[in-house]
Amino acid sequence: MQVKVKEIANIQFGYYGQPSKDGTISYLQAKHFNEFGQFIGDNDTFLKEDSKAIGSLLQDGDVLFVAKGFRFFATLYKEEFGKAIASSIFFILRPNKTRVIPAYLVSVLNLPKNILHFQQSGAGSSIPSIRKNELADFTFNLLSLEQQQNVVQLQELHLKDMRLTENLINEKQKLFQTTISKIIK
Q: What is the pLDDT of residues 49-106, one digit of tens each?
A: 888 888 899 999 999 999 988 889 999 999 999 999 999 999 999 999 999 999 999 9
| Confidence (pLDDT) at 124 | 64
Same domain for 7 and 31?
Answer: yes
What 3-state class would DSSP assign to 171? helix
Same domain for 56 and 118?
Answer: yes
Long-range contacts of 150-154 (CB under 8 A, 24+ apart): 151/104, 151/107, 152/101, 152/103, 152/104, 152/107
**CB of 60 within 8 A of CB of 34?**
no
Number of domains observed in the structure of the chain: 2
| CATH number for 89 | 3.90.220.20
Same domain for 22 and 81?
Answer: yes
| Confidence (pLDDT) at 50 | 84
| Confidence (pLDDT) at 123 | 65
Same domain for 51 and 122?
Answer: yes
Long-range contacts of 163-169 (CB under 8 A, 24+ apart): none
Same domain for 136 and 156?
Answer: no
d(CA 120, CA 111): 14
Same domain for 59 and 93?
Answer: yes
Nearest alpha carbon to residue 26 among 34, 15, 37, 12: 15
DSSP 54-119: HTT---TTPEEEE-BSS---EEE--GGG-SEEEBTTEEEEEE-TTT--HHHHHHHHTSHHHHHHHH
Same domain for 133 and 163?
Answer: no
pLDDT, tens digit, 9 for 90 and up, residues 110-158: 999 999 999 888 766 688 889 999 999 999 999 999 999 999 999 999 9
Q: Which domain holds residue 138?
A: 2-142
Quickly state the pLDDT bin for 34 (edges 50, 70, 90). confident
Mean pLDDT in residue range 45-50 = 88
pLDDT at 172 over 90: yes
Same domain for 178 and 112?
Answer: no
Same domain for 13 and 92?
Answer: yes
Q: How open is the CA angle 63-92-113, to the nearest 5 degrees?
A: 60
